[in-house]
Structure formats: C-alpha cells, structure tokens
C-alpha cells in the first residue's frame, strides 16, 4: 500500500536532468570559472557522488533481475552516501552565484528526498516478495506508519534545514500514494492526503516567514 502511482516515478527524469546539470556545472567550475566556494563544494562531494552513480547502476541491475534483498542493500548504501553528500553541502559555504548554487545543491536535495521514499518502498517490496502477510502488523497499518515517518522527515528538513526541495519531493510521493491507494485503501489514501496537505502548508508558512525575516 505504500507504493505510489506509476506516474510518480517520472521524477527520475527530473533527477537525471538535475544530475547532468550538476556534472556540467562541476566541469565548468573545475576547468573554467574557479569560484573558491564552488570549487570547494565540488571537491568535497566528487567522490561520494561517483559512488552514488555506481550504486544507482547496481540497483537498476539488481531490481531488473528481482534480487529484492540485494537491491535493498544497495538502496540503503545509496541513501547513506546521499546523506553524506547532504551533510557536506549543508556545512559548506554556499557559492555567491545563485545559478551555480542551484546546480550544485538542489540536485542532491531532490535525489535524497526521492531515495528516502524509494528505500521505504524497497523494504515494502522485499516484505511482499518473501510472503509477509502482516502477522503482527497489518499492511495497511505498516503503510500508514511509513507515511507518518516520511512526513516527520519532511517536517525536520523544512524546520531544521529550511530545505524545501526535499519536502516537495515527499509531497509528490504522498500525492502518488493518494492517487493509487484511495480506491483500494481509504485509510492509506487519506493519510497520504493529510501528509501532503500538512507538509505543503508547512513549506508555505516557513517560506513566508523566511521572506518576511529577510525584509526586516
């Protein structure tokens, strides 16, 4: 019940476009415009980014051959390296150039948001694959609990890190879950709708406060 509607996975196209933009920007910084802060960011995340590329490719192969356990291990490793990149970006001085800052930071915020959701979905797929029928916990309760956990993560990223890209990705996932599950499980569907609405409200309210604070 946690798996979103098929159209939701179209976000992979956006992620790959953003990552291509990151690579191009990194090459420009490395061989052309060498802004110190931007170059420092590229150097900090270059190696873990290469690892994420290998892990992404490995996950695609494992998933294609229905190696659910192995694909989950790869997904968790990918999540760990994306968290590492996120922390390095968060603790770095941001480039002055807004366009450069966008292409160096936002791709990984979006990527991390989606992999956070995909990891939960991967766990769910593995449980279904091994025949788990929810002996202790029903699949519906499990799905609602996972939505709540993802919602709390979104709140943390908005409130603590002022990271709206991550939260928007979770909102997109909640919309996909709502669209797919509202007819099969109204409990899961309405929980996803509540999470979507509440997270968007939090994003908007925090963005307004941030803009008001910058004017004062």
> Per-residue pLDDT averaged across 41-54, rounded?
96
CA 206 to chain centre: 20
Residue 163 reports pLDDT greater than 70: yes
For 84-104, write each residue's pLDDT tens digit: 999 999 998 888 789 999 999
Q: What percent of the chain has pLDDT over 70?
A: 95
Q: What is the pLDDT of residues 96-145, one digit of tens each?
A: 789 999 999 999 999 999 999 999 989 988 887 887 766 667 888 888 99
pLDDT tens-digit readout, 145-162: 999 999 999 999 999 999
pLDDT at 36: 86
* Closest listed residue to residue 8, CA positions, set 178, 154, 190, 203: 178
Average predicted confidence (pLDDT) for the chain: 92
Long-range contacts of 148-152 (CB under 8 A, 24+ apart): 148/191, 148/195, 149/120, 150/116, 150/117, 150/120, 150/174, 150/195, 151/195, 151/198, 151/199
pLDDT at residue 46, rounded to an integer: 95
Output the pTM of the full model: 0.93
Q: What is the pLDDT of residue 31?
A: 87
Confidence label for 35 from pLDDT (cuts 50, 70 and 90)? confident
């Amino acid at each position: 019940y946690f798996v979103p509607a098929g159209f939701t996975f179209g976000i992979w196209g956006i992620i790959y476009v953003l990552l291509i933009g990151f690579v191009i920007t990194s090459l420009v910084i490395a061989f052309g415009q060498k802004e110190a802060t931007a170059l420092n960011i590229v150097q900090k995340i270059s190696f873990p980014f290469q690892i994420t590329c290998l892990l992404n490719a490995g996950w695609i192969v494992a998933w294609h051959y229905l190696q659910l356990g192995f694909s989950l291990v790869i997904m968790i490793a990918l999540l760990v390296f994306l968290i590492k990149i996120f922390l390095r970006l968060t603790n770095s001085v941001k480039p002055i150039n807004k366009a450069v800052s966008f292409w160096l930071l936002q791709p990984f915020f979006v990527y991390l948001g989606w992999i956070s959701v995909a990891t939960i979905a991967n766990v769910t797929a593995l449980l279904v694959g091994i025949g788990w029928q929810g002996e202790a916990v029903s699949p519906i309760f499990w799905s609602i609990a996972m939505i709540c956990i993802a919602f709390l993560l979104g709140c943390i990223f908005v409130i603590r890190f002022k990271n709206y890209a991550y939260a928007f990705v979770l909102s997109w996932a909640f919309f996909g879950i709502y669209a797919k599950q509202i007819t099969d499980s109204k409990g899961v569907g309405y929980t996803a709708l509540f999470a979507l609405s509440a997270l968007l409200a939090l994003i908007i309210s925090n963005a307004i406060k941030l803009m008001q604070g910058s004017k004062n």
